[in-house]
Amino acid sequence: MISRLALATALLGAAPAFADVNIYTTRQDFLIRPVTDAFTEKTGIAVNLAFVDKGIVERLRAEGDRSPADLVMTVDVANLKQIADAGVLQPVDSETLEAAVPAELQSPENLWFALTTRARVVYASKERVADGEVTTYEALTDEKWRGRICSRSGVHDYNLALLAAVIAHHDADYARDWAAGVKANLARKPQGNDRAQVKAIWAGECDISLTNTYYMGAMLADPEQKAWAESVRIVYPQFEDGGTHINISGVGMTRAAPNRAEALQLMEFLVSPEAQEIYADLNDEFPVLAGAEPSPLVKSWGTFTPDTTDLNTIADLRAKALRIMEDVDFDG
């Protein structure tokens, strides 16, 4: 489909016509639109967003070569790998993307590239958890945390990615003991989403939870949830031989991509300093581009050393992590 701007300029002979870029995304429009609007303003290329909450792979397979989608944008490396493994993405050869995105945050086949990162951290009660009490992920099995941890389901993508990282740093046997040890320290049966764990800390049901960083921003912006957020502080645990576990949001180009040239322009724009700061700010996440600044709010949460475990390894270990969570009956 040709955008109105491109069609008008083509008819007037003033400039070559550009095609629109069409994106299938699991992120809501308001979390993406400002950065795509900046791209349109800069290039004259319109961007169409289609929110696809579930079933992107099935949709792309059904559409085949007739798919109108040029790009896919989603979160969590496991989701990006699933889409890549389905054979519905194509490699993208771009020096700009290669230079901007660290090697451990991109597909080795150039099928997807990270755009932002988020950390899986500890939210700790300001009243009941002392400074320095939270140290490493490994130490979350210590008896001092007995009855003090809240968690969402162990088989949720966020917790499976963290457990996969535990496997990567140690081995499967250690990870099984770790998952069982965290389960033994739970204050209640796993339930709810990440925000529900912070609410439970506010309510005094537990003292710490494993939660993604960006939820702090979302809760502070919600009048009902602001008190929950203000009852906790973010603490960045590390692995004993590494840094703080991170995951990503990312982008890939579809195999069908009818507007490949324009889509590549957008992908490269998304890792520019301008776009990185807009996109990270929208989502309360961290830019992947070195030198791009997090928002003042995100900066206020402190600094940390990101773990450098290759996220492709994390994605490959997801199935093993799922079996461990089921073996220890984490949600039981």
The whole-angstrom separation of Cα 312 and Cα 99 is 18
User: Can you tell me the distance from the alpha carbon of 249 to that of 51, in angstroms, rounded to the nearest whole number?
Assistant: 15
Confidence of residue 19 (pLDDT cuts 50, 70, 90): confident
Both 147 and 226 in a single domain? yes
Average pLDDT of 55-73? 96
Q: Which domain holds residue 13?
A: 4-117+247-292
The answer to whether 284 touches 218, Cβ cutoff 8 Å, is yes
Is it the case that residue 255 has pLDDT exceeding 80?
yes
| Helix-helix angle 260-270:273-283, to 10 degrees | 70
What is the structure's pLDDT at 11? 31
CA atoms within 13 A on the CB side of 323: 6
Same-domain status, 310 and 175: yes
What is the pLDDT averaged over residues 249-256? 97
Mean pLDDT of 41-62: 95
User: What is the average pLDDT score of the chain?
Assistant: 93
Q: Percent of the chain having pLDDT more than 90?
A: 92
Q: What is the pLDDT of residue 306?
A: 96
Bridge partners for 49 per DSSP: 23
Tens of pLDDT, residues 190-248: 999 999 999 999 999 999 999 999 999 999 999 999 999 999 999 999 999 999 999 99
Whose tokens are 């083509």? That residue is 10
Q: What is the pLDDT of residues 115-124, one digit of tens each?
A: 999 999 999 9
Residues 38 and 134 in one domain: no
pLDDT at 43 over 60: yes
pLDDT (mean) for 296-314: 95
Weakest-pLDDT range from 16-25, 107-116, 283-292: 16-25
Shared-domain flag, residues 227 and 276: no
pLDDT digits (tens, 9 = 90+) for 306-332: 999 999 999 999 999 999 999 999 999
- Regarding whether 207 and 84 lie in a shared domain, the answer is no
332 located within any domain: no
Total of domains in the chain: 2
3-state secondary structure the chain: CECHHHHHHHHHCCCCCCECEEEEECCCHHHCHHHHHHHHHHHCCCEEEEECCCCHHHHHHHHHHHCCCCEEEEECHHHHHHHHHCCCEECCCCHHHHHHCCHHHECCCCCCEEEEEEEEEEEEECCCCCCCCCCECHHHHCHHHCCCEECCCCCCHHHHHHHHHHHHHCCHHHHHHHHHHHHHCECCCCCCCHHHHHHHHHCCCCCEEEEECCHHHHHHCCCCCHHHHHCEEEECCECCCCCECEEEEEEEEECCCCCHHHHHHHHHHHCCHHHHHHHHHHHCCEECCCCCCCCHHHHCCCCCCECCCCHHHHHHCHHHHHHHHHHCCCCC
Q: Residue 46's pLDDT is what?
A: 97
| pLDDT tens readout for residues 97-131 | 999 999 999 999 999 999 999 999 999 999 999 99
* pLDDT computed for residue 53 by the predictor: 86
In a domain, 237, yes or no: yes
- In tens, the pLDDT along 147-193 reads 999 999 999 999 999 999 999 999 999 999 999 999 999 999 999 99
CB-based contact 266:36 (threshold 8 Å) = yes
Type of residue found at 212: N
Q: What is the Cα gyration radius of the chain?
A: 21
Question: Do 168 and 147 belong to one domain?
Answer: yes
Q: Are residues 215 and 140 in the same domain?
A: yes
CA nearest to 51, candidates 19, 22, 86, 77: 22
The answer to whether position 142 is within a domain reads yes
Indicate whether 25 pLDDT > 70: yes
Claim to verify: residue 200 and residue 265 sit in the same structural domain: no
Q: Supply the pLDDT for residue 18.
A: 66
CATH number for the domain including 312? 3.40.190.10
- 10 Å Cβ neighbour count for 16? 8
Same domain, 18 and 100: yes
Q: In the chain, what percentage of residues exceed pLDDT 70? A: 95
Residue with tokens 């645990």: 237
Cα 245 to Cα 243: distance, rounded to the nearest angstrom: 6
On whether the CB atoms of residues 10 and 36 are closer than 8 A, the answer is: no
Query: Both 173 and 156 in a single domain?
Result: yes
Calculated CA dihedral for residues 39, 45, 49, 55, nearest 10 degrees = -110
